[in-house]
Amino acid sequence: MKRLTPYARERQIRLARKCLHRLRKQNIKRRKSFKLHENFVILKAPVKFTIILEADRRNLLLFLERMRDTIVISKQAVLIDFTTTQKMIADGTLLFYAELCRLKRLGGSLKIRCVPPRNQKVAQVLKQVGIFDLIGYRTKIKTTYADVIHWRSANGHEVIGEKFDEVLGHYDGQITEVLSQELYRGFSEAMTNCHHHAYIGIRPDGLNVAHDPKEWWMFSQQRDGWLNVVFCDLGIGIPGTLPIKRPSLWRRILTFGGQLDAHAIQEALIESRTRTGLHHRGKGLKQLVDVIARVGNGEVNIFSNKGLFTLKPNSESIHQFKDDIYGTLISWRVPI
């Protein structure tokens, strides 16, 4: 091994001292951040935000439950600690964003603040989709990652065509006109289902909130030649609407046993028809799935409460999770 010259040795020592000094400054800044928020309840954010994997899903949903209990039931301000968060998947991130918007409304003047993540990509995602702005974290962050800069977000209460352009207008010229029309039809159908079905009862999350606004949230992201669109509501879910809207169908589903929520989604797709029964109004969830199926190699996941229905090219499947998202989340995946 080559011996270092005195100059090289001194240079290494200087660099090490600078690095140590920088780390100390970061730790002091972090400790001060916690001290400034002594009256806040600190909630540690999960390492990964997703609802597709059982363990990660459970961690996220427990975190959201603690947020609801602290803000709405205990009526305490919250400090979200993103320090150890490493990954933000579109499905889990959208569910978190939707819950955060709802809790901001229900909490009124109660503050929700955060400790930023160490992971720079996570910080860029939180900034790009508007989560940092929502909780008052104003530090300027430049988006540099290619798979973050294309995230788009929108939300609303009504079936509004203009919202489509907020999320997907950015991709004009990259997707064909036919595909654009198909996606618009699916998007409108999702909003229509949300408006007419999702909020017909009280969400069973323990908060007992009546008359929730008929709100929906949506993300899009371009990555590796694919366009991912994720849409969700925080209603009572498909398994919650069937006993009210289609009691005979629900009685038949009860005979299946085990995977009730997953079977409810699947059967709702098979039996799907409009709320009014008018043929010109479309076919509800079935219409939405057919839109993606016609794309060719598109994919769709429909999460509702504990259930999941997945459509891939030439195959479909269902899965029952242990934990409930208390709502419906639909993700499209189509090639650009």
pLDDT tens sequence across 125-163: 999 999 999 999 988 899 999 889 888 888 887 665 556
Q: Are residues 234 and 171 part of one domain?
A: yes
Q: Which of 75, 104, 134 is the last residue of a domain?
A: 134
Q: Are residues 164 and 108 part of one domain?
A: no
Q: Are residues 84 and 187 part of one domain?
A: no
Q: Is residue 192 part of a domain?
A: yes
Q: Is residue 188 part of a domain?
A: yes
Instruction: Name the residue among 235, 247, 248 with its Cα closest to residue 197.
Output: 235
Name the domain count of the chain: 2
Q: Which of 91, 107, 134 is the last residue of a domain?
A: 134
Q: Are residues 188 and 117 part of one domain?
A: no
CATH of residue 91: 3.30.750
Contact 233, 216 (CB under 8 A): yes
Dump pLDDT digits (tens) for 206-239: 999 998 998 999 898 877 778 888 999 999 999 9
Q: Which of 134, 163, 188 is the last residue of a domain?
A: 134
- Residue predicted with more confidence, 10 or 94: 94
Q: Are residues 180 and 74 part of one domain?
A: no
Q: Are residues 312 and 164 part of one domain?
A: yes
Give the HSE-up count for residue 215: Cα atoms under 13 Å, Cβ half-sphere.
Answer: 17
Q: Are residues 160 and 115 part of one domain?
A: no
Q: Is residue 23 part of a domain?
A: no
**Residue numbers of the domain that contains 116:** 40-134
Q: Is residue 260 part of a domain?
A: yes
Q: How far is CA 143 from the centre of its chain?
A: 20
Q: Are residues 59 and 189 part of one domain?
A: no
Q: Is the per-residue pLDDT at 123 higher than 90?
A: yes
Dump pLDDT digits (tens) for 13-63: 788 788 777 777 666 656 555 555 568 999 999 999 999 999 999 999 999
Contact 57, 97 (CB under 8 A): no
**What are the E-state strand segments in 212-305?**
216-223, 226-233, 299-304
Q: Is residue 146 part of a domain?
A: no
What distance, in Å, lies between the first and last C-alpha atoms of the chain? 53
CATH of residue 166: 3.30.565.10
Helix H segments across 169-246?
177-193, 238-245
Q: Is residue 66 part of a domain?
A: yes
Q: Are residues 121 and 80 part of one domain?
A: yes
User: What value does the mean pLDDT of the chain take?
Assistant: 84
Percentage of the chain beyond pLDDT 70 is: 81
Dump pLDDT digits (tens) for 156-197: 876 655 566 665 666 555 555 556 666 666 667 777 777 778
Q: Is residue 289 part of a domain?
A: yes
Dump pLDDT digits (tens) for 239-254: 999 999 889 999 999 9
- Which CA distances in Å does 2 have to 5, 15, 61, 93? 9, 20, 54, 50
Q: Are residues 160 and 96 part of one domain?
A: no
Q: Are residues 312 and 165 part of one domain?
A: yes
Q: Are residues 207 and 161 part of one domain?
A: yes
Q: Is residue 50 part of a domain?
A: yes
Task: Round to whole Å and give the CA distance between 281 and 141.
Answer: 44
Q: Is the per-residue pLDDT at 106 higher than 50?
A: yes
H/E element, 101: helix 90-107
Helix (H) and strand (E) counts for the chain?
11, 12
